[in-house]
Amino acid sequence: MAEKITPRSVDYSQWYIDIVLNAKLADYSPVKGCMVVRPRGYAIWERIQAAYDKRFKETGHQNCYFPMLIPMSFLQKEKDHVKGFKPELAVVTHGGGEELDEPLCVRPTSETIIWSMYKNWIQSYRDLPLLYNQWCSVLRWEKRTRLFLRTAEFLWQEGHTAHETEQDAVEETMRMLDVYREVAEQVLCLPVIAGRKSESEKFAGAVATYCIEAMMQDKKALQAGTSHFLGQNFGKAFDVQFQTREGKLDYAWATSWGVSTRLIGAVIMTHSDDKGLVLPPELAPEQAVIVPIYKTETKAAVLAYCEKLLGELKTAGVRAILDGDESKSPGWKFAEHEMNGVPLRIEIGPRDMEAGKAMVARRDTGEKAPLEVAGLPAKAVELLAAIQKNLYEKAKAFRIENTKPVASREELLAFYGKDQGEEAGTAVATGGFAEGRWCGDGTCEAALKAETKVTIRCLPLDRQEGVGGNCCLCGKPAKHLAVFARNY
């Protein structure tokens, strides 16, 4: 099955698509730019969803649902919002065979329709905060799409909160950014940099946008989550006023934050190899697969032995399956489960039974060793934890290895080399993450992007004290430390 995967060294982009298709995570839809998420892909999304939803509720948030159709006039109330999303809007002009009195937009995001409702629900400081989240799909009419990473319609969550004070909203913005970081690192094994976006990269309608950025194996950055401090922009646009504790009127303060199914793409591109998908055990639909090896005369005994072990693994909390498909050879099964990213493969034949052992293979390292069956459930739990840790540490080491401090524009350009473009079919790109001082002027930032497609991914939150020195782009006094990269 590995022959179906284009090696990363030949064409990284095709390697990624080959894994998505052959691991049966998603497929192309008859609707241009959209995807069909297949059961295995959706099972991974469900586990990501569960990890986030648990933490949302632990921090006091409630789930709800708003309509997918938004009156065009709502978007026009927030001019920055319209400017940011108008090129991507899908607009409904007819319904029931008749032209609509007002065009309706299929939601690219839901701030406007949510804040139109908040106006009805917020009258006093006693009504605040509203800590709401919805799991849904959104539609952005993307011209260039790629499965999971950028599709016209995609699944996500969007949190929308309203607060009494600016401080409350800022604290909420940073709280949710930390929730994103925690799940990315602890569940998805994605080492991320948490930072603030530059003005040119922030969300339309936001006062400030914060993000977590991860490095993929082709050394490009992928934005893995964003949290926005919206100030009073939407409160003013939709006239959401409330009576303060002092008896005055003020506009509600807002945040919004979201992650999407592009996280599945991030997991693929961070951990997988030329044999197929590699999954962190926390995300894997099946954490272990037992593959029985037998002949006709030993079939019944081997299967019974495997069934007993299966039950013990499940009792230990391992998501395990038994592959008893008689139409496929053990070798074919090994390749299939490697393709699907099952973290542990357990092989058992008559000789293993006699010795009281099973051959156990790790998907992340390929290591294979005979282990005592008597203690295998506990050992499997231990191995899964080791795989989870190894994937994170390996990805972090890769990012560190491919991060370079730069002091000048010449040094930055030399690090990235000539722009290879997505159509070139190249393997792993030059560059990675460059860390350099920046003056904060969008002019030199825009010039770099136009010339190289390199952008400022974020201003790391933990590295802005005492920056000093000069901007690596223009030589002016620096105000920030910035992380530069090409990105998805």
Domain ranges of the chain: 2-66+123-271, 288-386, 403-485
Residue 422 has pLDDT above 60, yes or no: no
Using DSSP's 3-state secondary structure scheme, residue 160 falls into: strand
Contact 441, 476 (CB under 8 A): yes
- What pLDDT, on the 0 to 100 scale, is given for residue 416? 93
| Residue 66, SS3 per DSSP | coil
Mean pLDDT in residue range 76-85: 67
Taking the C-alpha atoms of residue 141 and residue 129, their distance in angstroms, rounded to an integer, is: 33
pLDDT of 43 over the 60 cut? yes
Q: In the prediction, which pLDDT does 84 show?
A: 65
- How confident is the model at residue 417, as a pLDDT? 83
CA atoms of 220 and 119, how far apart (whole Å): 42
How far apart are alpha carbons 433 and 10 in whole angstroms? Answer: 22
pLDDT category at 85 given cuts 50, 70, 90 is low
Q: What's residue 144's pLDDT? A: 87
Count Cβ atoms within 10 A of the Cβ of residue 102 and give its class: 0-12 exposed, 13-18 middle, 19 or more buried.
exposed
Is it the case that residue 217 has pLDDT exceeding 80? yes
d(CA 484, CA 223): 13
Question: Can you give the pLDDT at residue 77?
Answer: 81
Residue 35's Cβ-count burial label (10 Å; 0-12, 13-18, 19+) is: buried
- Whether 216 shows a pLDDT value over 60: the answer reads yes
CATH classification for the domain delimited by 288-386, as one of 3.40.605.10, 3.40.50.800, 3.40.50.300, 1.10.645.10:
3.40.50.800
Question: Tell me: the pLDDT tens digits for 313-328?
Answer: 999 999 999 999 999 9
Pairwise CA distance, residues 303 & 300, whole Å: 5
- 290 pLDDT band, cuts 50/70/90, is very high
Q: Is the pLDDT of residue 423 over 50?
A: no
Interatomic CA distance for residues 54 and 133, integer angstroms: 12
- pTM of this prediction? 0.94
* pLDDT for the residue numbered 364: 98
Which of 75, 129, 64, 142 shows the shortest CA–CA distance to 103? 75
Q: From CA 483, how far away is CA 126, in angstroms rounded? A: 41
For residues 59-72, average pLDDT: 97
State residue 243's pLDDT score: 98
- 376-401 and 262-271 are packed helices; what angle lies between their axes, rounded to 10 degrees? 90
What span, in angstroms and rounded, lies between the C-alpha atoms of 279 and 388?
Answer: 9
Tens digit of pLDDT for each residue in 120-142?
A: 999 999 999 999 999 999 999 88
pLDDT value at 421 more than 60: no
How many other C-beta atoms can be found within 10 angstroms of the C-beta atom of residue 22?
17
* CA distances (Å), origin 20, targets 125, 188, 269: 48, 17, 10
Whether 428 has a pLDDT exceeding 80, the answer reads no
177-199 per-position pLDDT tens digit: 999 999 999 999 999 999 999 99
CA distance 390 to 375: 22
Mean pLDDT, rounded, for 143-159: 95
Confidence at residue 418, expressed as pLDDT on a 0 to 100 scale: 61
Q: Has residue 90 got a pLDDT over 80?
A: yes
- State residue 204's pLDDT score: 84
Which pLDDT score is estimated for 191? 98
Distance between CA 112 and CA 132 in Å, rounded?
Answer: 14
CATH of span 403-485: 3.30.110.30
Average pLDDT over residues 429-447: 92
Least confident of 144-153, 355-364, 425-434: 425-434
Quickly list DSSP for 166-229.
HHHHHHHHHHHHHHHHHHHHHTS---EEEEEPPGGGSPTT-SEEEEEEEE-TTS-EEEEEEEEE
CATH of 2-66+123-271 among 3.40.630.10, 3.40.50.12780, 3.30.930.10, 3.40.50.1100: 3.30.930.10
User: What's the pLDDT tens digit per position in 229-273?
Assistant: 999 999 999 999 999 999 999 999 999 999 999 999 999 999 999
Q: How much is the average pLDDT of 141-159?
A: 94
The reported pLDDT for the residue numbered 3 is 67
Q: Are 217 and 93 in contact (CB under 8 A)?
A: no
Tokens for 378? 């506990």
As a whole number, mean pLDDT of residues 275-293 equals: 98
Kindly tell me the burial class for residue 140, based on how many C-beta atoms sit within 10 Å of its own C-beta (0-12, 13-18, 19 or more). Answer: buried
At residue 1, the pLDDT reads: 54
| SS3 annotation, 394-425 | HHHHHHHHCEEECCCHHHHHHHHCCCCCHHHC
Q: What is the mean pLDDT of the chain?
A: 94
When mean pLDDT is compared across 1-5, 357-361, 385-389, the lowest value belongs to: 1-5
On the CB side of 427, how many CA atoms lie within 13 Å of its CA?
A: 6
Supply the pLDDT for residue 425: 43
CA 98 to CA 247: how far, in whole Å? 48
